[in-house]
């Protein structure tokens, strides 16, 4: 029954046009409202968020200079590391149609990530989490950065990681980040951080903060975020202004801002 439940959306994605599968069920208005839940905007203050203020950063170099030597090296060499491993990034607007078309690739990455997080012997929890997280992404607004590798395992290209971002009000919110077990030490996360900060700076003064969400205090993830300038704060809902509109088309927003 469990395998059927997880396999069903895959089968539906093949047999039913993706636009009819979720796109026709969930309007843009629904997805904007739904997105507030995973972003933490319905339960503000319950968890600390890791936030970087980019308001006074004139460029990416200023951000890099503010970091410790190790973190600085990770950001400076982020592009080089991807090139070394033959990995490249593509960006697209997040839509239910794309989530359905790319369902096998996206779920494969999430499952690998969740299996590593849950550990050996917890494949049922990992499988259920994979489907729930894919469905959550499919129902949200924002945009997706996909990390592909060429020529591995005889494939022309293979999805090895992706991140999901939402911009609302004056904040760029890093949402979901997943990477396969075989590629989680190839510097992709550092590139995600670099891209997020760079975009926030390019979108000034509209965007003034990068919020990469909650992590339990004292954990290795929380400490890692702190190394890159993201401070874990209780009053993130006051620090970040989320009451403004969503940015639906990132590339359009970047083009418009560059001419102002």
pLDDT tens digit sequence for 38-60: 999 987 667 899 999 999 999 99
Among residues 207, 202, 208, 201, the alpha carbon closest in space to that of 257 is found at: 202
Residue 223 CA neighbour count, 13 Å, CB half: 3
CA distances (Å), 193 to each of 118, 142, 175, 229, in order? 24, 17, 12, 10
How confident is the model over 90-117, as a mean pLDDT?
Answer: 93
DSSP structure class, residue 20? I
pLDDT of 151 strictly over 80: no
- Residue 113 confidence class, pLDDT cut points 50, 70, 90: very high
The pTM of the whole model exceeds 0.75: yes
Taking the CA atoms of 92, 93, 94 and 98 in sequence, report the sign of the dihedral they define.
Answer: negative
Residue in 227, 125, 130, 226 with CA at minimum distance from that of residue 178: 130
**What's the mean pLDDT when you consider all of the chain?**
87
pLDDT band at residue 146 using 50, 70 and 90 as cut-offs: very high
Supply φ then ψ for residue 163, to 5 degrees: -130, 150
**Segment 8-37 mean pLDDT:** 66
Nearest Cα to 181, choosing from 233, 244, 115?
Answer: 115
């Amino acid at each position: 029954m469990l395998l059927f439940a997880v396999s069903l959306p895959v089968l539906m994605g093949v047999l039913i046009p993706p636009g009819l599968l979720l796109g026709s069920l969930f309007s843009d208005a629904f997805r904007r409202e739904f997105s507030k839940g995973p972003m933490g905007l319905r339960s503000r203050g319950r968890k600390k968020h890791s936030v970087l203020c980019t308001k006074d950063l004139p460029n990416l170099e200023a951000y890099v200079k503010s970091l410790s030597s190790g973190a600085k090296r990770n950001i400076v060499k982020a592009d080089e590391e991807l090139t070394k491993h033959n990995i490249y990034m593509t960006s697209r607007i997040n839509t239910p149609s794309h989530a359905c078309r790319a369902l096998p690739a996206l779920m494969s990455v999430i499952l690998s990530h969740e299996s590593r997080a849950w550990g050996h012997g917890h494949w049922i929890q990992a499988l259920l989490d994979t489907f729930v997280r894919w469905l959550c992404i499919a129902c949200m607004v924002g945009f997706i950065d996909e990390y592909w590798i060429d020529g591995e395992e005889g494939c022309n290209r293979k999805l090895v990681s992706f991140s999901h971002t939402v911009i609302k009000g004056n904040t760029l919110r890093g949402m979901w980040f997943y990477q396969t077990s075989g590629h989680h030490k190839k510097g992709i996360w550092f590139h995600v951080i670099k891209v997020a900060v760079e975009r926030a700076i390019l979108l000034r003064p509209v965007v003034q903060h990068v919020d990469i969400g909650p992590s339990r205090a004292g954990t290795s993830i929380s400490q890692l975020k702190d190394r890159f300038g993201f401070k874990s704060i209780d009053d993130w809902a006051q620090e970040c202004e989320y009451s403004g509109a969503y940015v639906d088309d990132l590339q359009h927003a970047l083009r418009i801002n560059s001419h102002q």
